[in-house]
Amino acid sequence: MGHMIPAGTGFSMYRNIKLVPLAEPIPAEDLLPDTLPTAPSEPAPEPAPVA
C-alpha cells in the first residue's frame, strides 16, 4: 500500500465500520442555552464622521 491513497478508495472493512455507543447521548436541551442571544431592538447609532 502506497502513501498516496485518493479519498473514497478505502478498504471496505474500514468503510463499513459500525460504531458502538459507549454512553447515552446527551439531550440537545442540555447542550443549548435556555435563551438564545437576541438582536438589539434599536439599531446602533452611526459613528460621527471623522474630519
Check residue 38 and give its pLDDT: 67
Question: What's the pLDDT tens digit per position in 2-40?
Answer: 566 666 667 777 778 888 989 998 887 777 766 666 666
Q: How far is CA 21 from CA 24, 26, 29, 30, 35, in A?
A: 7, 12, 20, 19, 30
Burial of 51 (C-beta count, 10 Å sphere; 0-12/13-18/19+): exposed
Give the phi and the psi of residue 12 in degrees, each rounded to 5: -60, -30
Check residue 22 and give its pLDDT: 92
> Which residue is listed with cell 446527551?
26
